[in-house]
A = this chain, B = another copy of it.
Amino acid sequence: MAAKGIQTRQNIITKALQLFCVKGYYHTSINDVLEATDLTKGGLYGHFSSKEDLWYAVYDQALRIWREVVFRGIQSSADPLERIQTLIENDIKKKLGDHIFEGGCFFHSMLVELSGQSVAMSSHLMQGFKQLAGLLCAWLEQAEQQGLLKENLKFDEIANYIIISLNGAAALYAPSRDTTILDQTVSQLHFYIQQLKK
């Protein structure tokens, strides 16, 4: 019995993730989710206490998926700068290009939509970006210790800028679906990181 419940709960999350990505959070109605899951109100609200509660579950799922996609083939490389390049390429080419999140990037879309609407949810998102910035920072420090970088670089600044570029690419790719944008961003970020080297 319990298995059935978990299964439907998971299905709700999966379908809601798709809808949130394509239509946005507010513009996805509970009825949209019900239609996608072949459920009714009572069935859904047995699993989630509110739409916002569902969103947090969807966020966790999205984070799990993103991590899987973006950290693929990263431990293999000892060079921290190469790890950064791979992460960037995975984020743009795989996350965006392969439409892991249909209709764009879940995190970026939610960040923009929820900023100014829900402090709780948007700061939840910001926390995730801060974690990523911390990771990039750590990798840059490793690169410095290996003597790969120019002097006097500000690592947190660089880390933030990379994240900003990734978000910008998501913003412009979503409406156009123009894959050259992805190639160009990867190419320019590659150039940018090369310039950090000694």
Q: Does the CB pair A175–B123 fall under 8 Å?
A: yes
A172, CB-defined interface residue at 8 Å: yes
Whether the Cβ atoms of A126 and B176 lie closer than 8 Å is: yes
Give the distance to chain B from A3, nearest Cβ to Cβ, in Å: 34
Q: Which of B27, B123, B171 contacts A117 (CB 8 A)?
A: B27
Report the nearest B residue to A26, measured CB to CB. Answer: B27
Work out how many copies of this chain go into the complex.
2
A26 nearest CB across to chain B (Å): 6
Cβ B171 vs Cβ A185 within 8 A: no
Which of A157, A160, A172 is most buried by chain B, counting CB atoms within 10 A of its CB? A172
Shortest A109–chain B CB gap in Å is 6
> Hey, which chain B residues are within 8 Å of A188, CB to CB?
157-158, 161
How far apart are the CA atoms of A82 and B176 in the complex, in Å? Answer: 30
Q: B-facing mask of A114-156, CB < 8 A → 1, else 0?
A: 1111000011011001000000000000000000000000101
Q: List 23 A-B contacts (CB under 8 A).
A: A23-B117, A24-B113, A24-B117, A26-B26, A103-B116, A111-B171, A111-B172, A111-B174, A112-B112, A112-B174, A113-B113, A116-B174, A122-B175, A129-B172, A156-B184, A160-B172, A161-B185, A163-B168, A164-B169, A165-B165, A167-B167, A168-B171, A191-B195
